[in-house]
A and B are shown apart, each in its own frame.
Chain A
């Protein structure tokens, strides 16, 4: 934290202002670095919450006819596991990393709208507490993270209350969900506007759009995705609140409404959302690989453009989540086509990343381990995702554990590995300390093994007919062993996280001090103190290539001397 000089008056015998206390400084800060840290700490806390949800689920499912959780509690836990991980962990974590790093990367002193930046963070914190507090009322959201109507309606048509079982989900559970989503949407919109303006207007002189780091590119595309997709889910949430409380029937058949309206609206957000969750991770990988391979990213232009292509195409594939709902065959064929199309830019990136390390000089420090693990795991997620686009096969495996396998390979093997790559990479910049390498290795290998133990068997469970979202299963369907293996894997992941937390705590207390440039990196954020001064750069640099810091350190072999970008 920066030192402050009391410049007003000579007397120091007065009560400190709120803004001068430690807590007050953080509550009132508009500094993108502090806000980034708050985002990340909050996100990590919710990662642990979501992780506990996961362990509870896996404990219940470790054996057939499990009695660990009642169906009501189970349904709340599996819903909140997804809601927490997606909205309270991955999104705030990536926003936090972006918040901290992007202004530094582009040579700016802060985000374009510092107060709105802070606002976005506080909304996430309050929304997260709001959503999680629902557990205290025994009324956590319980109709799945994608909250299909009409299950989320408060009462069936023509009835004023819910009977013992009939038709709906009594209680405020899904109100928590809808309101939480609305709040988080407001936060994401404000963060996105901030990123768009900052990236488009505050780049250092000479940093044209095709010279800015790929993490910045991906953050920019993600921001646009958020801005264009959030209106769908915002509308959908408002409509379900109206249905629940004001007697409208948007999603209720028999009154002129249609349950499928929910699905179309939701997935019009939901699909871009998954790219929102992965694109910044793509950006992180594109920063880490070159540094630890000692050569530039292979095919910067292709990677940047494929990100843009994914951005546009992500709005054309939403109904691939709906292949089984009874859409006309021609419509299904359209979405199968668009989904195939979007696989192309995604695949190309993997080749570019391998092209980056090919011919390089690879050092396997922690960030690199996670970056390489990302490629290996995301490939699997991409392959089983492409399989899901094959519609008749999808008819069999949609809504089964095959999909659970897919989404965890891309979100955990993808986003989470990318996030850890970013954390290990930028931690020394943010704290001036280096996380312990040995512990990082233990974390990585345990997490990699745990990931595969947990989710690979789920491919098979899906093929063997195990549906999603069931709180238990019978003894005699051949699912027992694979479920047990998955549970063991989940606990392995849990242990790996504990190793990371231990590393984090111990390093902050007495870890190895880091130089300002421990990795010999290429981009501007490394040309600052560790942690950077409040004003980031003493002098805003002028940029002449995609690797301005590399150029500064290697003036003879600078990029701008050999290539024109």
Chain B
């Protein structure tokens, strides 16, 4: 019985394949996407080259085999006078050939795979000294410890361009995975294991990173950014980050904010500011002094733009502190200020996160924002 619908099948097939393939090309123009096909470092470059090679091979195999399939369907469909087919049971020669030939190709690819694997972290760097970072996965944010520079930050990993980065991956809770698609493939962060991610960024810029191992309620909101600076900019950044925060901010609103920070039930219960409630970043020491942070270190919060697992962004321009009608400080445009939204109701932004705080008035939020802004 002829199925009339098959008359259009070739056209359908062509349209569908064209749609699918063109959508693939769209991918290359990923635009804002953290695309693995926009490599900005040697590791991602090797991995992305591998993809293009795979794509070519897979497309050829697909076209050939699918083509054979469609050809057979069309050529051998039953027609009113078609005779009974020859009852072939098989052909040993053909079957051996089509086992050996693909095997050969598969093994060539395997050798390429293994060769690339073992050479993945072999690349040249403009900077002769590698940078040692410790990456700690929390639920649900990323802590970055610069072991030699004694700096602790969160949400943003600042690195110099052209420098080999050796990132030690630690977790004291569940498994996470450390991934920046444009720079390197992921490595899991496994409690009890000392996994290492080695990579390098060859271009200045900002790259999105994500947790890629399901780690609980807010796994979707455990993102971060890698900010790649020129060597000079990076050195300047390190110098400023190594300073302690001042114990008395000059601005009165900021001072009030610091009081809130230090007050009973205040932020210092979970957050540390070196020079204010922390002598130094003791937890970077190994041994008895090491302790796990509850909340991100805020010593230089003012220099960061991403908060809460990069769920929200903020900057001074969108979080302007003004004097409100009652003479009290307030935020000019709260809806545009990510930091306001976070402090106003963190559980609404990221339900289940550890940031469980009492309700803060707009005045208190403005004071805190003024203080945090000052922590540059």
Contact = CB atoms under 8 A, between A and B. Distances in A.
A361 B20 contact: no
Given A165-B217, A325-B188, A354-B69, A359 B103 contact: no
A427 interface: no
B181 to A, nearest CB: 4
Given A165-B354, A465-B34, A325 B76 contact: no
A163 B214 contact: no
A390 B50 contact: yes
Interface stretch (A225-233, A273-281, A333-341): A333-341
Interface residues of B, number: 101
Contacts of A477: 32-34, 208
Most buried by B among A144, A168, A355, A375: A355
A363 B35 contact: no
A326 B37 CA distance: 23
Interface stretch (A27-35, A127-135, A381-389, A505-513): A381-389
Interface string B30-51: 1111111100000010111011
Interface in A130-168: 143-144, 148, 150-151, 156, 163-168
Contact of B34 (A252, A348, A464, A563): A464
A393 B34 CA distance: 15
Contacts of B66: 376, 379
Interface string B149-177: 00000000000000000000000111101
Interface stretch (B106-114, B227-235, B283-291, B364-372): B106-114
B236 interface: no
Contacts of A468: 212, 214
Contacts of A476: 32
A126 interface: no
B220 A473 contact: yes
A542 interface: no
Contact of B69 (A296, A332, A348, A372): A372
Contacts of A398: 186, 212
Contact of B6 (A75, A352, A364): A364
Contacts of A252: 191
Contacts of B94: 355
Q: Interface on chain B toward A: helix, strand, loop, or mixed SS?
A: mixed
Contacts of A75: 217
A457 B76 contact: no
A340 B103 CA distance: 9
Given A165-B139, A379-B66, A294 B84 contact: yes
B117 A361 contact: no
Contacts of B278: none
Interface stretch (B57-65, B250-258, B330-338): B57-65
Contacts of A259: 174-175, 190-193
A72 B192 CA distance: 27
B129 interface: no
A392 B120 contact: yes
A258 interface: yes
B72 interface: yes
A50 to B, nearest CB: 19
A280 B165 CA distance: 48
B90 A302 contact: yes
A237 to B, nearest CB: 18
A332 B185 CA distance: 15
A293 interface: yes
A206 B106 CA distance: 40
B275 interface: no
Interface of B: 1, 3, 5-6, 16, 20, 23-24, 26-27, 30-37, 44, 46-48, 50-51, 54, 58, 61-62, 65-66, 68-69, 72-73, 76-78, 82-91, 94-95, 98-99, 102-103, 106-107, 109-110, 112-114, 116-118, 120, 139-140, 172-175, 177, 179, 181, 184-188, 190-193, 195-196, 208, 210-220, 351-354, 356
Given A302-B99, A336-B117, A383-B58, 10 more contacts: A71-B218, A165-B352, A166-B354, A253-B190, A299-B91, A325-B175, A399-B186, A399-B212, A465-B208, A467-B220
Interface of A: 70-72, 75, 143-144, 148, 150-151, 156, 163-169, 252-254, 257-260, 293-302, 324-326, 329, 332-333, 336-337, 340, 343-344, 347-348, 350-352, 354-355, 357-365, 372, 375-376, 379-380, 383-384, 386-387, 389-400, 441, 445, 449, 452, 456-457, 459-460, 463-465, 467-473, 476-479, 482, 557, 559, 562-563
17 contacts: A71-B351, A168-B216, A253-B193, A294-B85, A297-B89, A336-B110, A337-B110, A352-B90, A354-B65, A360-B72, A362-B73, A372-B69, A399-B179, A463-B36, A464-B27, A467-B211, A469-B220
